[in-house]
Structure 1
Amino acid sequence: MSLLGRDLAIDLGAAGTRIYAKGRGIVLDEPSVVLRDRQTGRVVRFGAEALDGADGADGTDGETYWPISDGLPQDGELARRMIRHFLRKVHRHPFPRPRLVMAVPDEFTPIERVALRDAGFEAEARGILLVKHAIAAALGAGLPVRDGTGHMVVDIGRDATRVAVLSCGAVVAAGTVRGGGNAVTRAVARLVEDEHGLLADEREAESAKLRATREPTGNVLIRGRDSGTGEERAVALPAARVREAAVQPVEHIVRAAEHTMERCPPELTADLGERGMVLVGGGALLPGLRRRLQEGLSMPVRRAERPSDSVALGLGRCVEDLGLIAKLRRR
């Protein structure tokens, strides 16, 4: 049985991939990125190693690719190779052959379902069990998803934000808005260009956004090239100013939540007004986001204890008790 590998849960996020091993918890957390050689097109690195080699400091002339979008493979070949690399890294065996529990988008098509299963099987999994993304996120956030009351989960990912209302172990209504944490990153880059004439690349803008999250009262140093001279320079922005760039993406999330609630029965809408929503995903860590959503929706808003890990932890609960998946499917 050791050759077949123990059961695993894999959260394929656009920004990062997390793997949960039965009985061990989260054993891998790496960026969902692949590095290819610019000259040959050959894949040379995956995950954290790919980001480390992207700056060319070690002599690698590579270009990064992010093969996952909205929880689904956008480049099937790169996604398959990345998943297989991560599985082998966890098992330390060339042919791990694990059984996988994976999250599928709440509003998926049969083609998308097949694409996700194929990516898992082609990465040498021996079995695939699929769980709806919102159910996994809610389980990981500690919500009682099988009771009859209404619960709202908002997952702010890298390239999309998912909104879902759950009740009785099922997704009652769901919606997706393009633009998650990456929309905030682009807004930061536009802010620096408009106000300081500085062209900051995505990686630098992302870094500035994260530093503003960790240091809410200080200044954030952003480097880039002067749009006029082409020279590299840096500017210091108040962290609060960086966070203000998130206003428009947050308004999109508010509207998506409102539209999702409009499709719910009145009794569930009343539940949501009392219980509010739970934020998960890496974008949930942005300071001030909870307050803005609470003001825009006039409902309680709280952040999950481990927002970035919520989906992986929820899938992990299913790995620990595979019977839970069957119970949810009967709802």
Structure 2
Amino acid sequence: MSLLGRDLAIDLGAAGTRIYAKGRGIVLDEPSVVLRDRQTGRVVGFGAEALDGADGADGADGADGETYWPISDGLPQDGELARRMIRHFLRKVHRHPFPRPRLVMAVPDEFTPIERVALRDAGFEAEARGILLVKHAIAAALGAGLPVRDGAGHMVVDIGRDATRVAVLSCGAVVAAGTVRGGGNAVTRAVARLVEDEHGLLADEREAESAKLRATREPTGNVLIRGRDAGTGEERAVALPAARVREAAVQPVEHIVRAAEYTMERCPPELTADLGERGMVLVGGGALLPGLRRRLQEGLSMPVRRAERPSDSVALGLGRCVEDLGLIAKLRRR
């Protein structure tokens, strides 16, 4: 009961949900996934336990269950499943059936009134007693340690599961923002296409994701990828050079470069000059892909650095707002 009503920050990502508790830091980090029984449609798991109980991934056929990812681009795509998932995570943090916390949440930088209402409704229906919204780019910049309230220009690129968000900040406000469909998941799909085109092998998303991660950890050597033969249906494996797997990420990276260029074109000249000097900061799980920083730096001719904790940046930024709720009001006044 000592945690009843504790202020929380919740970063609703397409790939994972993180919760920051005031005075405690990040207390939950789980996949944003729901598992439903294939026969009855009943929800049987959330987060890590949903993946543990699934035989397939991202809606792939499994023997007993099917997984759903109810969050996309920071917003609920399936309102009912998103609400139930959020409520489950809040109760898991509080260890109480009716926590009723006050929540700080991130809203997309270019949001519509309908999207804002949908996000607030998801929080309230998950039994929050109050909702405070912070723009996504502001939260990411705060979590990356950028001085968002000064007058210089700062660019933040958040590479998520299904989208990459680019934003330029100055004086505590978002000056220009853009979103390109395709993030870490686009790289995963590119790996799956590579295996199918060159070897006739159908690899599911979980196997392609695993291969991508192994290729990032092992810069040399081969990566073993399993799948079903498109012709015979038999399961087999192929070994691909790790460098070849990483090459599959080239096209998604080019999309990020173009989104960054487009966002910079919408900025005042003085901020564009700042960006040429200060460069961009990468956050999000996709920022961990080896070689990405170098490719972006070459494509944009500007400095590129990765946040110290890229996957946690948004949650940490929202956490700063939880620790000092007055900071939200200060940012809104700028």
Q: Check whether TM > 0.5.
A: yes
Q: 1:56 offset after TM fit, Å?
A: 13
Please give the per-residue CA displacement for 1:248-278, whole angstroms capped at 9, x wherever unaligned.
0000000000000000000000000000000
Matched, 1:31 2:31: yes
Structure 1 range deviating more: 113-122 or 204-213: 204-213
How far apart, CA to CA, are the structure 2 residues paired with 1:56 and 1:69?
Answer: 15
CA contact (8 A) 1:7 1:99 kept: yes
SS state of the match for residue 272, structure 2? Answer: helix
Which digits, 9 at most, give the CA deviation of each residue in 1:69-94, with x for residues without a partner? 00000000000000000000000000
CA change 1:56–1:258 in 2 (3 A) is closer
Quote the Cα distance in structure 2 between the aligned partners of 1:137 and 1:107. 15
Contact 1:54 1:62 in 2 (8 A): no
Q: Contact 2:148–2:172 at 8 Å: present in 1 too?
A: yes
Deviation readout 1:207-260 (Å, 9 max, x if unpaired)? 111111222223211100011111101111111111100000000000000000
Distance in 2 (CA, whole Å) between partners of 1:237 and 1:148 is 48
Q: Give ranges in structure 2 of 5+ residues lacking alignment.
A: none
Q: Which runs of 5+ in 1 are unaligned?
A: none
Range that drifts further, 256-265 or 208-217: 208-217
How far apart, CA to CA, are the structure 1 residues paired with 2:15 and 2:138? Answer: 20
* Contact in 2 for aligned 1:3/1:95 (Cα 8 Å): no
Distance (whole Å) between structure 2 residues aligned to residue 124 and residue 258 of structure 1: 41
* Structure 2 CA distance for partners of 1:57 and 1:290, relative to 1, 3 Å: closer
Measured at CA, do residues 269 and 57 of structure 1 come closer, stay the same or move farther in structure 2, by a change above 3 Å?
A: closer
Number of aligned residue pairs:
331
**What is the TM-score when the length of structure 1 is the normalising length?**
0.97
Return the match for 1:108 from 93, 106, 111.
111
Partner Cα separation in structure 2 for residue 59 and residue 153 of structure 1: 38
Matched, 1:298 2:310: no
Aligned equivalents of 1:97 and 1:91: distance in 2? 9
Tell me what 1:264 maps to.
267
User: Could you tell me whether the CA contact under 8 Å between 1:159 and 1:180 is conserved in 2?
Assistant: yes
Query: What RMSD, in angstroms, separates the aligned Cα atoms of the two structures?
Result: 1.9
- In the TM superposition, residue 5 of structure 1 has moved relative to its aligned partner by 2.2
Higher mean C-alpha displacement, 204-213 vs 12-21: 204-213
Q: Structure 1 residue 4: deviation in Å?
A: 3.5
Task: Describe the shift of the 1:200–1:59 C-alpha distance in structure 2 as closer, same or farther (beyond 3 A).
Answer: closer
SS of the counterpart of 2:63? coil
Q: Report the TM-score, using the length of structure 2 for normalisation.
A: 0.96
91 and 328 in structure 1: CA distance in 2 versus 1, 3 angstrom threshold = same
Q: How does 1:79-158 map onto structure 2 within 5 Å?
A: 79-158=82-161
Contact 2:57–2:205 under 8 Å retained in 1: no
What is the identity percentage for the equivalent residue pairs of Structure 1 and Structure 2?
98
In structure 1, C-alpha distance between the alignment counterparts of 2:62 and 2:279, rounded to whole Å = 51
SS at match of 1:54: coil
